[in-house]
Structure 1
């Protein structure tokens, strides 16, 4: 049986809306299914820039401090110095579900081994910390605290020097954490929502629907959350003080990968149904398309160098990775 939800306000604020399951106001159907990228057709147009060989890549990160491109293929991280081309590898205990980087450091969540791993991008040294519950994503809030999204149970917990100090529960699939100065926001892919959590005590604020199938999100220099609604084929923008949906912009082509260039205020979105990447200027009141480039097949992940504007687009089916400066 499908549950009915009456929209509250134009921003689809979910707290205060009525469903027949009052304990979980974000759940609108009995069977929750996360959105996934569309299967790409064979590339019909030569990709822009240069294509390098690589195995299937699940995650792509760029660290401008060390000029390191990180490609995650299962438990193997390939670290490429983009100034010299030198490559190293780091092996994690298991495949990461999510990656997050701070200057010079990569934080990997490893659900299948109940650990989080810190990778020194200058040396490729890996240090692990046990975190029971199947970590899905982890971010450092400061020098002492780390927020971790867990698979079982579906919660977000805050660790201080390895000790749990706060926990927020009631999620379905807390896939990605987005830290802001006061809160950490949780992108839940199953309920396709964004919810703030106070890391001091684990209290949850009012959540917002994020389209009909949110998959990836980033924060921008204005303090907003930019999110991809893959199923609804939109780029969404939320303010965070308070949490309000500010923009919904159509992005046909099954958008999935997302990277933000804070120097140029460009949100880069990969389209897996058409093998393209589109760059939107998000500095104004409405996104404006500035670039559209052909990509390799199955461009599921993307990263950008904010210093040069260079894009790194990786294929999830083994078509390699693409380097292009628009």
Structure 2
């Protein structure tokens, strides 16, 4: 089956029906909580968080790099061979060709909630500081983008930078350092913004939903429920957005033109961190409830498990080096960064 085909399971079909109903509001009679909002899970939504990890039952696979403090995010840049690791008040830049060498420490204004290589730069989202740090690789030179609010995620779109601003429930559009547009509507929170297949999608963790964004038109378009507790999203090679539903333990796949739920695959064990390897079409999902990371081939009609490894404790973040396929898992419990060669 081609990528994006529907999963043939009763659970998936049921989910697809609920999502379709969410779009056709006039044809739905059910309500969520007291709001009557078919995209809202409960009356007073709370964003899902990573399930707490138990003590590890097995030694982590591969090797582990020690870090000064908890790791909040990781990202790998294939163009420069840099592994970026977010620790308190800094981003550490490692050379992937020599991970034993001391990293370059780049000070930032607080905890980076997200790291993303986009448009040839490393974007570090710093919600507490109201900044997105733009870090040049491999030099570590920093320029900052001042954001009114709490930037939770960012992506480069041509000559523009799109920023998901959580507390203002908006996607801000910057050209250079200048705010040129702020797109609002329908969101309860804006927790990430992605580009997939030429389309822009925003993740709303409070509403546990994804929305299409018309950046040029300045409007928020259709929205779909993304399970009962969406936490992370990535774009894949097939124009889709993959989303982890942490509360119910599932990996979801949405086509983006138009926005449709194509797959819902169960991933029990505290699914949380998410990364994508475009060279091998592998989605890597961390299971914080089990201290594991699982690699799924997502080219077919449903994900197929290819790898499963024990990890460091509290594996909240994960990234992949495209050239080698190495997987890097960050420990939010202060146990460093794990390096796995599948």
Q: TM-score, normalised by structure 1?
A: 0.92
C-alpha distance in 1, partners of 2:187/2:104?
37
The Cα offsets for residues 88-114 of structure 1, whole Å up to 9 and x where unpaired, read as 010112222322212641112222222
Cα distance, 1:160–1:39 mapped onto 2, change above 3 Å? same
Higher helix share: 2
Unaligned runs of 5+ in 2: 1-13
Closer, same or farther: CA 28–41 of 1 in aligned 2, 3 Å: closer
Report matched runs for 1:192-231 at 5 Å: 192-231=208-247
| One of 55, 61, 78 as aligned partner of 1:42 | 55
The aligned counterpart of 1:33 is 46
Deviates more, 1:151-160 or 1:46-55: 151-160
Aligned to 1:62: 76
Aligned to 2:17: 10
| More divergent stretch after superposition (35-44 vs 131-140) | 131-140
**2:54–2:291 Cα contact (<8 Å) kept:** yes
Structure 1 residue 308, shift from structure 2 partner: 0.7
Q: Please give the alpha-carbon distance, in whole angstroms, between the structure 1 residues aligned to 2:16 and 2:96.
A: 47
Root mean square deviation of aligned Cα: 1.8
Greater mean alpha carbon deviation, residues 12-21 or residues 226-235: 12-21
Shift of 1:201: 2.1
- In 1, Cα distance between the equivalents of 2:190 and 2:335? 30
Aligned residues of 2:253 and 2:262 also touching (Cα < 8 A): yes
Report the 3-state secondary structure (helix = DSSP H, G, I; strand = E; otherwise coil) of the residue aligned with 2:19: coil
SS state at 2:128 partner: helix
Counterpart-to-counterpart distance in 2, 1:45 and 1:280? 21
When structure 1 is superposed on structure 2, of 215-224 and 145-154 the one drifting more is 145-154
Which structure is higher in RCO with an 8 Å CA cutoff and minimum separation 6?
2
Describe the SS at the equivalent of 2:17: coil
In structure 1, the residue matched to 2:8 is none
1:234 aligns with 2:250: yes
1:101 aligns to 2:108 (yes or no): no
Closer, same or farther: CA 28–259 of 1 in aligned 2, 3 Å: closer
TM (norm. structure 2) is: 0.88
